[in-house]
Amino acid sequence: MPQLGLLRRKAWAALLSQLVRPPCAVSVRTVGGHSQVAEAILTSQLKHEEKPDFIIKVPKGTRDLSPQQMVIREKILDTVVSCFKRHGARGLDTPAFELKDMLTEKSEENFGLVYDLKDQGGELLSLRYDLTVPFARYLAMNKLKKMKRYQVGKVWRREKPTVAQGRYREFCQCDFDIAGHFDPMIPDAECLKIICEILSGLQLGDFLIKVNDRRIVDGMFAVCGVPESKFRAICASVDKLDKMSWKDVRHEMVVKKGLAPEVADQIGDYVQCHGGISLLEKMFQDPKLSQSKQALEGLRDLKLLFEYLTLFGIAEKISFDLSLARGLDYYTGVIYEAVLLKSTAPAGEEPLNVGSVAAGGRYDDLVATFDPKGYKVPCVGLSIGVERIFYIVEQKMKTSGEMVRTTETQVFVVTPQKNFLRERLKLIAELWDAGIKAEMLYKENPKLLKQLHYCENTGIPLAVIIGEQEQKEGTIKLRLVASREEVAIKRENLVAEIQKRLSLS
């Protein structure tokens, strides 16, 4: 602070020289001016001295993505979106924030998830916590009775992040939904087929899709003796069985939520069952569950669903799991969740465990909550867990040592001599105009070795070299970067030759 200190002393000296003058010579305006200067300097210095240490960081539960990470993410999103389009979905986008009442209309449980925004214009707003509720609002607002859509976007949830397992407060969701009145289980089966196609295409390893039905869950609670007022609370406890043992879940239901122990034990007999079509048949014959009309409706739909899944050739990837509950209130029918089966990890490493990587279900009543006349538009959909999938793919690439190219540059324009900037600019413009991805160094006279090293370090496959000799002969030297082989090409044939070589690579 030597300069600031000097200014401070000068200000005080000027002020003092004015004050020691005879009263008649003192200019009030001058004294006032020097006082303001001194005060400003002192205030600035105090502010600087009192400023706390500033830590540069991202908010908790968020992250930056490096160019290498963006390449991985874009490949994942390309696989997901291309599958959605293959099944006839149309793209949609909705605002990142909604009216708070819209997001919390269906359930007060969502209050704890929502990030509220400061009131700026008389509206209470919140960041969206999923893409499903905005989609339902869009359908109701535009009076749409059917739509097959996909949407990719960020959502925000105010919950404890687990970065090591790919869980964040800000994360990307990829949703696919079918809205409209259709025959039972046909759209639902297609959603499960899409999940299988995406997870297989991403080559994440073995996976299993658990399915259940909220009507079976509610029917199970009813026949076991759960008071209807506790259905949602007990459902939320059962939904934790993928993270907690049955003993711990039972303790939560009995001690924290006041459920009778004998009722909890009856629930335990059901929620520890999982299997295929044979378990479905067994549940039809169950003396208690078969007394619930609601549960029987769910069982009949699941039986039909398994018939369609068999025709799609994916029945072996599906498990009827009575522990699956899906905590969100808007689900009304079939629900599902895809999990990766733990594979053997390399020596000294823990197997990757990130929970579910895709989930969804049927929500037939959600649109009606936004429609003034309560008109129902049945919907079923799925959401792909991009962050968790990204975490798995990234860890696998680190383990294998696979390198990632952060650019798609195909050709690098090189010169071995000085004063060739204009020729390089004309040449690269010709490549760009032909749709070829090309780069060059932003130097008038770059060194040859630096240019060639850049090609090799960034994985650019081809380099075109122009110098005095090439200019005289009307040729361009084409260099295959990996093998360092060079061939002379006629100037007028350069673009065609590059396109030919790129098409073969």
pLDDT at 354 over 90: no
pLDDT at 31 over 80: no
Alpha carbons 197 and 64: distance in angstroms, whole number:
29
pLDDT at 458 over 70: yes
Q: Looking at 226-317, list the stretches that DSSP marks H as alpha helix, in order from N- to C-terminal side.
A: 231-238, 246-251, 261-271, 277-284, 293-312
Tokens 């004309």 locate to 426
Alpha carbons 307 and 314: distance in angstroms, whole number:
10
Confidence (pTM): 0.83
Tokens 């594979």 locate to 343
Enter the tokens of residue 181.
Answer: 């009145």
Which amino acid is residue 233, in one-letter code?
Answer: A
Alpha carbons 173 and 150: distance in angstroms, whole number:
10
- pLDDT band with cut points at 50, 70 and 90 for residue 12: very low
Which amino acid is residue 46, in one-letter code?
Answer: L
- Cβ pair 396, 227 in contact under 8 A: no
Alpha carbons 381 and 258: distance in angstroms, whole number:
34
Enter the tokens of residue 480.
Answer: 């295959």
Task: List 211's β-bridge partners, or say none.
Answer: 320, 336
- Cβ pair 236, 214 in contact under 8 A: no
On the CB side of 496, CA atoms within 13 Å amount to 5
Tens digit of each residue's pLDDT (9 = 90 or more) over 62-83:
999 999 999 999 999 999 999 9
Give the relative orientation of helices 214-224 and 293-312 as an angle to the nearest 10 degrees. 150
Across the range 418-447, mean pLDDT stands at 96
Q: Could you give the 3-state DSSP secondary structure of residue 162?
A: strand
- pLDDT band with cut points at 50, 70 and 90 for residue 52: low
Alpha carbons 148 and 175: distance in angstroms, whole number:
11
- Residues contacting residue 405 through CB under 8 Å, at least 6 positions apart: 71, 458, 459
CA distances from 486 to 275, 473, 480, 505 (A): 62, 16, 6, 17
Segment (H or E) for 173 = strand 170-179
Task: List 167's β-bridge partners, or say none.
Answer: 162
pLDDT at 38: 55
